[in-house]
């Protein structure tokens, strides 16, 4: 019996930018989310694997400067880019990830290549980039990832003498950012989870990290079990938020562990992680998850999260605030 395919995506969580709560400000985000969902949905309806759908969705998110992954990634304190990505296949628990790369156009493709090569799970820095070149992946100069909006964000963060999580900084000193979520208090990871016709699950996550972060900092996104996890028997999960807290709670895996060992439903497990475990240590953000039955859960403990999902042939649904 064939399963009805489902895909869900996120583009980061954060707080409401009160000055930008207009339909006009939100429209570009809804359109981008909808276009990406439709592409992933179309692939699944053609019989493609969940892994293919989540990788396509995250590649498209990496190409969209509205989000902090790939083109439009934030800057480190050295005014450079260090990008991270991970993928996981729920059917066999294969996973791949790259961290701290600055020349790979689509880090998620490199993460998948690591997974498919099979010898390792996580490659970082120059080694990851050498591997990507060997595999014939598209390489770019670091300037490809830069946008002036992100550079201004960095300079404001440096002037304030602080490290700001993921997408942070754009509204911190100027008020309205023109975005539905306040860029001064936003987590910029992107991700996708999917269930395919064969009942297989997959997850993918990608990020530019933190504005003004220390060179070499790695968050939860490329760490299997922290920001990314998929297991056909339980769920596929992609997280966004304060990465250090997601690492400390093994947030993505904890959703599946609660389902396996405590018999919790997807909703119960995801809510417990996002609303209890993370806040207990000061963690902010959210996650998207799909279980083997096609249930979708997208909890967040911030005021908003860019998100959406598409089920079967139904029109995609997108949302930003509650």
- Catalytic positions, written as ranges: 189
Longest dimension (CA), the chain: 59
Phi, psi for 41 (deg, rounded to 5): -65, -45
| C-alpha span between 211 and 148 (Å, rounded) | 13
Check if the beta carbon of residue 156 is closer than 8 Å to that of residue 172. yes
Q: What is the distance of C-alpha 67 from the center of its chain? A: 10
Q: Residue 296: beta bridge partners? A: 290
| Cβ neighbour number for residue 65 with a 10 Å cutoff | 17
| C-alpha span between 194 and 203 (Å, rounded) | 7
Where does residue 185 rank: exposed (0-12), middle (13-18), buried (19+ CB within 10 A)?
buried
């Amino acid at each position: 019996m064939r399963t009805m395919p489902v895909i869900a995506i996120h583009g980061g969580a954060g707080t409401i930018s009160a000055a930008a709560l207009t339909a006009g400000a939100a429209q570009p985000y809804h359109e981008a989310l909808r276009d990406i969902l439709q592409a992933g949905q179309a692939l699944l309806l053609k019989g493609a694997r969940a892994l293919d759908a989540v990788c396509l969705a995250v590649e498209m998110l990496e190409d969209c400067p509205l989000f902090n992954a790939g083109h439009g990634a934030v800057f480190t304190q050295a005014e450079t880019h260090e990008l991270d990505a991970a993928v996981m296949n729920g059917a066999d628990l294969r996973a791949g990830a790259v961290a701290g790369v600055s020349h790979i156009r689509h880090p998620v493709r490199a993460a998948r290549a690591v997974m498919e090569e099979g010898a390792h799970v996580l490659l970082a820095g120059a080694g990851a980039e050498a591997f990507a070149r060997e595999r014939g992946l598209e390489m770019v100069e670091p300037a490809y990832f830069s946008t002036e909006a992100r550079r201004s964000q960095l300079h404001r963060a440096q002037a304030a003498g602080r490290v700001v999580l993921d997408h942070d900084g754009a509204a911190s000193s100027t008020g309205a950012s023109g975005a539905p979520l306040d860029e001064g208090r936003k987590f910029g990871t992107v991700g996708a989870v999917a269930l395919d016709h064969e009942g297989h699950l997959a997850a993918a996550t990608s990020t530019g990290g933190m504005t003004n972060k220390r060179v070499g900092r790695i968050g939860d996104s490329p760490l299997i079990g922290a920001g990314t996890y998929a297991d056909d028997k339980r769920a596929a999960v992609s997280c966004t938020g304060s990465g250090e807290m997601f690492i400390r709670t093994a947030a993505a895996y904890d959703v599946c562990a609660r389902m396996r060992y405590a018999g919790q439903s997807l909703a119960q497990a995801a809510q417990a992680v996002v609303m209890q475990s993370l806040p207990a240590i000061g963690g902010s953000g959210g996650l998207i998850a799909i279980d083997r039955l096609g249930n979708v859960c997208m909890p967040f403990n911030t005021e908003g999260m860019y998100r959406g999902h598409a089920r079967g042939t139904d029109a995609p649904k997108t949302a930003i605030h509650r």
